[in-house]
Amino acid sequence: MRYEVTQDLMTGNSMIDSEHRVLFDAANKLLDAFADGRNDGGMNIVQTGIFLKNYVDKHFEHEQELQKKHEWREYDTHVRFHEQYKQTLSDILDGLPKDGPPSVELVSELNLHIVRLITHIRTMDKRLGSYLQSRGEV
Ligand SMILES: [Fe+2]
């Protein structure tokens, strides 16, 4: 299964949408690395996981900067979601084995966590996107 930014997940803000694409890409790469059980040179599981985590941090920061700049009324709840999301992602990635493929449970936890992000995009991020558009930030 590949995650992708389908039309219904577009927020209308070009930066947010293109960062969501990179995020889904990183999630797909991590799941591919899981499937291969690859832990040797190149983008292995640990490196792919670190990239995903760093990118999530960077992307959430960008979204929060935009919200602050435009005084978005959902800022506090939105940040709370981001903080919790980052924490759970760290917990999941901390559970990665140094060698060999991750457990089935860990893979399904990660999938669930990506689905949580999709729900977040469909609701909070899309509301934010509409608001930003109304402020001329596209
Ligand atoms: Fe968000």
Tens of pLDDT, residue by residue over 111-130, are 999 999 999 999 999 999 99
Q: Residue 102 has what pLDDT?
A: 87
Tokens (6 digits) for 38: 């690859």
Q: Residue 54 has what pLDDT?
A: 98
What spacing in Å lies between the alpha carbon of 88 and ligand 1's midpoint?
Answer: 15
What spacing in Å lies between the alpha carbon of 136 and ligand 1's midpoint?
Answer: 19
What spacing in Å lies between the alpha carbon of 120 and ligand 1's midpoint?
Answer: 7
> For 45-54, how does the pLDDT look when each residue is reduced to its tens digit (9 = 90+)?
888 999 999 9
Q: Residue 43 has what pLDDT?
A: 58
Q: Is the pLDDT of residue 100 over 80?
A: no
Q: What is the mean pLDDT of residues 68-76?
A: 98
What spacing in Å lies between the alpha carbon of 100 and ligand 1's midpoint?
Answer: 33
Q: Residue 130 has what pLDDT?
A: 98
What spacing in Å lies between the alpha carbon of 43 and ligand 1's midpoint?
Answer: 26
Closest CA to 5 of 110, 107, 132, 118: 118
CA torsion, ordered 127, 91, 58, 60, to nearest 10 deg = 20
What spacing in Å lies between the alpha carbon of 127 and ligand 1's midpoint?
Answer: 10
Q: Where are the alpha helices (DSSP H) in the chain?
A: 14-36, 45-69, 75-94, 104-120, 126-134
Tokens (6 digits) for 50: 């670190």
> For 23-60, how does the pLDDT look when each residue is reduced to its tens digit (9 = 90+)?
999 999 999 888 876 655 555 788 899 999 999 999 99
Q: Residue 38 has what pLDDT?
A: 61
Q: Is the pLDDT of residue 13 over 80?
A: yes
Q: Residue 45 has what pLDDT?
A: 84
Domains and CATH numbers, the chain: 9-134 (1.20.120.50)
What spacing in Å lies between the alpha carbon of 40 and ligand 1's midpoint?
Answer: 33
Residue with tokens 């930014």: 5
